[in-house]
Amino acid sequence: MCNLLFYLLLMLCLDSGVHHVVGIGAGVNYGQIANNLPSPSRVAILLRSLNISRVKLYDADPSVLLAFSNSDVDFIIGLGNEYLENMTDPLKAQAWIEQHVEPHLPQTRITCITVGNEVFNSNDSRLMSNLLPAMQTVYTTLGNLGLDKQVAVTSAHSLTILGNSYPPSTGSFRQDLAEYLQPLVSFHAQIKSPFLINAYPYFAYKDNPEQVPLEYVLFQPNQGMTDPNTNLHYDNMLFAQVDAVYSAIRAMGHTDIEVRISETGWPSKGDTNEAGATPENAGLYNGNLLRKIEEKQGTPAKPSIPIDIYVFALFNENLKPGPASERNYGLYYPDGIPVYNIGLQGYLPELAMSSATLINVRP
Ligand SMILES: *[C@@H]1O[C@H](CO)[C@@H](O)[C@H](O)[C@H]1NC(C)=O
Ligand SMILES: *[C@@H]1O[C@H](CO)[C@@H](O)[C@H](O)[C@H]1NC(C)=O
Ligand SMILES: *[C@@H]1O[C@H](CO)[C@@H](O)[C@H](O)[C@H]1NC(C)=O
């Protein structure tokens, strides 16, 4: 009996080693603004069945971080905008990290903290002023605790921070944000952390469906556009957006900061005035995107840097406010059924107890 148990555990260990190597490249945003989602331990099994090994949270939900103990998943966790003011205080930053990060290390792999989300969308100058000091304090505190090498510090920005984005070579940040973004970008260069953007070609299409070719935003075959300054050819809007951000960062004097995509996605359903929100389009967007990630494609301006993406989102979230599209970005319904078929048929167990056997058996 004992030997048999040992053998079974050994098989599971070997098995999980295989999964780790195969993992799909894309990460996923695990948003939880809903009252009907499966328990985190069931979600851990679902993600494992999908070989998804990178997850982004908007908070530091201990029940999620605990459920993914000894899993092969790397986590980005979030400090919400409501914490920024307190995080400028070293004592409060240390208390937060001691309470929300340290207890989970190393058994849960927390590799990054996003300080604030879309702060420059807030139109709140106090919040904007607090962003960089909060990031600096969190970074310094991680250093004091010996964690700065394993946990990166960054923030996530909406593309409304761009004043100009077309053509991509002329990308620049909004002039009114320069006082915040210039030192922020310098800080990224100093600590070598990536600059994260939430990029949604869907918004551009929805706002202007007559002008924006659907094929161009969905990564379908199309004519695309050539940037007259660089002669680089763009056949999809997402890559043009990423390169516009690289240009904006370069205009601030930095060429050594990596741009990554902390959110992108397409809604499968929307209100009648939300053009293009269909399961077919969402499936094309996310399916084509996953293929580009599998092929490790870079953007025209940075061909050797494979695009790095967290899909928004894992589940439809029924309590999100706003238009119907907001509640329909999920790859999955809460019962684990895919909203559309892009080859991501996962396994969501009925019973949470199986997590003990499937997840927590690594040496
Ligand atoms: C996950 O990886 C395993 C092992 O290589 C593979 O058999 C399985 O098809 C993959 N699952 C998905 C959803 O890609
Ligand atoms: C900020 O700190 C104050 C004082 O310690 C505390 O009362 C408050 O709850 C904190 N704010 C947040 C959002 O945690
Ligand atoms: C942002 O704030 C400024 C000044 O308070 C105001 O004029 C402007 O309308 C606000 N913009 C938005 C989008 O709320």
**What pLDDT is recorded for position 23?**
58
Nearest residue to 169 via CA among 217, 122, 233: 233
In a domain, 3, yes or no: no
**What pLDDT is recorded for position 346?**
84
**Ligand 2, pocket-test mutation among 83, 86, 92, 97, most atoms within 8 A of CB:** 86
pTM: 0.90
**Residue 110 burial (C-beta neighbours within 10 Å; 0-12, 13-18, 19+):** buried
Q: Is 83 in the pocket of ligand 2 (CB under 6 A)?
A: yes
CA atoms within 13 A on the CB side of 352: 10
Question: Which CATH number do you get for residue 334?
Answer: 3.20.20.80
Q: Is 164 in the pocket of ligand 1 (CB under 6 A)?
A: no
Q: Which ligand is nearest to the CA of 95?
A: 2
Read off the tokens for 261. 């995509």
Amino acid letter, residue 288: N
Whether 350 is catalytic is: no
User: Alpha-carbon distance 322 to 250, whole Å?
Assistant: 35
User: Alpha-carbon distance 23 to 51, whole Å?
Assistant: 4
In a domain, 40, yes or no: yes
Residues 6+ apart with CB under 8 A from 24: 50, 51, 52, 53, 290, 293, 294
In a domain, 72, yes or no: yes
**What pLDDT is recorded for position 349?**
87
Q: Which ligand is nearest to the CA of 86?
A: 2
- Domain residue limits at 327: 24-358
> Quick check: 136 and 153 in contact, CB under 8 A?
no
Q: What distance in angstroms lies between residue 203's CA and the mean position of ligand 3's atoms?
A: 21
How many domains are there within the chain? 1
In a domain, 14, yes or no: no
**What pLDDT is recorded for position 2?**
39
**What pLDDT is recorded for position 5?**
40
In a domain, 7, yes or no: no
In a domain, 16, yes or no: no
In a domain, 5, yes or no: no
- Which residue's CA is minimally distant from atom 4 of ligand 2? 86
Q: What are phi and psi of 308, to 5 degrees?
A: -125, 120
User: Alpha-carbon distance 277 to 270, whole Å?
Assistant: 5
In order of 18, 133, 264, the CA distances from 75 in angstroms are 20, 23, 17
pLDDT in tens, 37-80: 999 999 999 999 999 999 999 999 999 999 999 999 999 999 99
- Which residue's CA is minimally distant from atom 7 of ligand 2? 86
Q: Give the chain's residues under pLDDT 70.
A: 1-23, 351-363
Whether 317 is catalytic is: no
Strand partners, 181: none
In a domain, 324, yes or no: yes
**What pLDDT is recorded for position 22?**
45
Q: Position of tokens 């077309």? A: 166
Residues 6+ apart with CB under 8 A from 207: none
pLDDT in tens, 145-192: 999 999 999 999 999 999 999 999 999 999 999 999 999 999 999 999
